[in-house]
Protein backbone atom coordinates (compact mmCIF):
# COMPACT_ATOMS: atom_id res chain seq x y z
CA UNK A 1 0.00 0.00 0.00
CA UNK A 2 1.39 3.32 -0.92
CA UNK A 3 0.22 6.81 -0.16
CA UNK A 4 -1.18 7.83 3.20
CA UNK A 5 -0.11 4.76 5.17
CA UNK A 6 3.50 5.08 4.07
CA UNK A 7 3.63 8.52 5.65
CA UNK A 8 2.07 7.75 9.07
CA UNK A 9 3.68 9.99 11.66
CA UNK A 10 3.13 10.66 15.33
CA UNK A 11 0.82 13.60 14.74
CA UNK A 12 -1.57 11.42 12.74
CA UNK A 13 -2.07 9.32 15.88
CA UNK A 14 -2.45 12.39 18.07
CA UNK A 15 -5.16 13.75 15.77
CA UNK A 16 -6.89 10.36 15.86
CA UNK A 17 -6.71 10.43 19.67
CA UNK A 18 -8.38 13.86 19.69
CA UNK A 19 -11.07 12.64 17.29
CA UNK A 20 -11.84 9.66 19.52
CA UNK A 21 -11.96 11.95 22.55
CA UNK A 22 -14.43 14.20 20.70
CA UNK A 23 -16.58 11.24 19.72
CA UNK A 24 -16.53 10.10 23.35
CA UNK A 25 -17.88 13.47 24.48
CA UNK A 26 -20.72 13.27 21.96
CA UNK A 27 -21.65 9.62 22.51
CA UNK A 28 -23.52 8.18 25.49
CA UNK A 29 -21.10 5.32 26.12
CA UNK A 30 -17.66 4.95 27.62
CA UNK A 31 -15.80 3.16 24.83
CA UNK A 32 -14.12 5.57 22.44
CA UNK A 33 -11.90 7.03 25.16
CA UNK A 34 -9.99 3.74 25.25
CA UNK A 35 -9.41 3.88 21.51
CA UNK A 36 -8.24 7.46 21.93
CA UNK A 37 -5.88 6.37 24.68
CA UNK A 38 -4.44 3.66 22.41
CA UNK A 39 -3.94 6.22 19.63
CA UNK A 40 -2.30 8.66 22.06
CA UNK A 41 0.07 5.98 23.35
CA UNK A 42 0.99 4.96 19.82
CA UNK A 43 1.52 8.61 18.88
CA UNK A 44 3.98 9.02 21.74
CA UNK A 45 5.79 5.81 20.82
CA UNK A 46 5.94 6.87 17.18
CA UNK A 47 7.38 10.22 18.27
CA UNK A 48 10.28 8.37 19.92
CA UNK A 49 10.64 5.57 17.36
CA UNK A 50 9.93 7.24 14.03
CA UNK A 51 11.24 4.39 11.88
CA UNK A 52 8.26 2.05 12.46
CA UNK A 53 6.44 0.95 9.36
CA UNK A 54 2.73 1.51 8.99
CA UNK A 55 2.03 -2.21 9.37
CA UNK A 56 3.68 -2.28 12.79
CA UNK A 57 1.86 0.89 13.80
CA UNK A 58 -1.55 -0.50 12.87
CA UNK A 59 -0.85 -3.79 14.66
CA UNK A 60 0.29 -1.92 17.77
CA UNK A 61 -2.81 0.26 17.65
CA UNK A 62 -5.05 -2.81 17.44
CA UNK A 63 -3.20 -4.44 20.36
CA UNK A 64 -3.28 -1.30 22.52
CA UNK A 65 -6.96 -0.72 21.77
CA UNK A 66 -7.91 -4.32 22.56
CA UNK A 67 -5.81 -4.35 25.72
CA UNK A 68 -7.25 -1.07 27.01
CA UNK A 69 -10.86 -2.12 26.35
CA UNK A 70 -10.32 -5.53 27.97
CA UNK A 71 -8.59 -3.93 30.96
CA UNK A 72 -11.56 -1.58 31.40
CA UNK A 73 -14.04 -4.44 31.33
CA UNK A 74 -11.99 -6.50 33.75
CA UNK A 75 -10.79 -3.93 36.29
CA UNK A 76 -12.42 -0.56 35.80
CA UNK A 77 -16.02 -1.50 35.32
CA UNK A 78 -16.77 -2.28 38.93
CA UNK A 79 -19.51 0.26 39.49
CA UNK A 80 -20.79 0.89 42.99
CA UNK A 81 -23.87 -1.12 43.88
CA UNK A 82 -26.96 0.01 45.67
CA UNK A 83 -26.57 2.87 48.08
CA UNK A 84 -27.85 3.05 51.62
CA UNK A 85 -29.28 6.50 50.90
CA UNK A 86 -32.70 5.90 49.33
CA UNK A 87 -33.07 9.63 48.56
CA UNK A 88 -29.81 9.99 46.65
CA UNK A 89 -30.36 12.27 43.63
CA UNK A 90 -33.93 12.98 44.81
CA UNK A 91 -33.37 16.20 46.66
CA UNK A 92 -37.01 16.85 47.49
CA UNK A 93 -37.43 13.43 49.09
CA UNK A 94 -34.41 14.07 51.27
CA UNK A 95 -36.25 17.02 52.82
CA UNK A 96 -39.14 14.97 54.22
CA UNK A 97 -39.07 15.26 58.00
CA UNK A 98 -37.06 18.51 57.93
CA UNK A 99 -38.31 21.78 59.35
CA UNK A 100 -38.11 25.25 57.90
CA UNK A 101 -39.67 28.69 57.94
CA UNK A 102 -42.10 30.27 55.52
CA UNK A 103 -40.64 33.14 53.47
CA UNK A 104 -43.98 33.73 51.74
CA UNK A 105 -47.25 33.04 53.51
CA UNK A 106 -49.28 30.02 52.54
CA UNK A 107 -52.41 31.51 51.06
CA UNK A 108 -55.06 29.34 49.43
CA UNK A 109 -52.83 26.35 50.07
CA UNK A 110 -49.66 27.66 48.32
CA UNK A 111 -46.59 29.46 49.64
CA UNK A 112 -42.80 29.29 49.82
CA UNK A 113 -40.57 27.80 52.49
CA UNK A 114 -36.86 28.18 53.17
CA UNK A 115 -34.92 25.09 54.21
CA UNK A 116 -31.17 25.55 54.66
CA UNK A 117 -30.14 27.81 51.76
CA UNK A 118 -32.94 26.90 49.33
CA UNK A 119 -36.43 28.24 48.87
CA UNK A 120 -39.08 25.73 47.82
CA UNK A 121 -42.72 25.98 46.76
CA UNK A 122 -44.95 24.57 49.45
CA UNK A 123 -48.52 23.35 49.81
CA UNK A 124 -50.44 23.09 53.06
CA UNK A 125 -52.78 24.87 55.44
CA UNK A 126 -52.69 28.66 55.34
CA UNK A 127 -49.94 30.11 57.57
CA UNK A 128 -48.18 33.49 57.99
CA UNK A 129 -44.61 34.43 56.99
CA UNK A 130 -42.06 33.09 59.47
CA UNK A 131 -44.22 30.19 60.64
CA UNK A 132 -42.29 27.01 61.40
CA UNK A 133 -43.28 24.11 59.19
CA UNK A 134 -42.53 20.39 58.85
CA UNK A 135 -42.10 18.79 55.41
CA UNK A 136 -44.40 15.77 55.21
CA UNK A 137 -44.10 14.90 51.53
CA UNK A 138 -43.03 15.91 48.03
CA UNK A 139 -44.98 16.19 44.78
CA UNK A 140 -42.55 17.01 41.98
CA UNK A 141 -40.72 20.15 43.13
CA UNK A 142 -43.46 21.18 45.58
CA UNK A 143 -43.15 20.30 49.24
CA UNK A 144 -46.21 19.24 51.24
CA UNK A 145 -45.97 20.87 54.64
CA UNK A 146 -47.79 21.18 57.93
CA UNK A 147 -47.47 23.94 60.50
CA UNK A 148 -45.47 23.40 63.69
CA UNK A 149 -46.29 25.46 66.75
Q: What is the pLDDT along the chain (149 residues), one digit of tens a residue?
A: 456 566 778 888 899 999 999 998 998 777 888 899 999 999 999 989 888 888 899 999 999 999 998 888 887 666 565 666 666 667 777 888 999 999 999 999 999 999 988 899 999 999 999 999 999 999 888 999 999 87
Which pLDDT score, from 0 to 100, does residue 2 have?
Answer: 55
| Domains of the chain, start order | 4-76 (no CATH), 93-148 (2.40.50.140)
Q: Kindly list the distances between the CA atom of residue 142 and the CA atoms of 34, 76, 107, 112, 126, in Å, as whole numbers in the listed order.
A: 43, 39, 15, 9, 15
Q: Can you give the pLDDT at residue 148?
A: 86
> Residues 105, 126: contact at Cβ < 8 Å?
yes
Amino acid sequence: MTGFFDQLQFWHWLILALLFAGIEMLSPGFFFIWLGGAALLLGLITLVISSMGWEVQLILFALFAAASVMAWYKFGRKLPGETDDATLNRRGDSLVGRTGALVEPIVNGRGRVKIDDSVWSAEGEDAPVGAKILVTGVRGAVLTVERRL
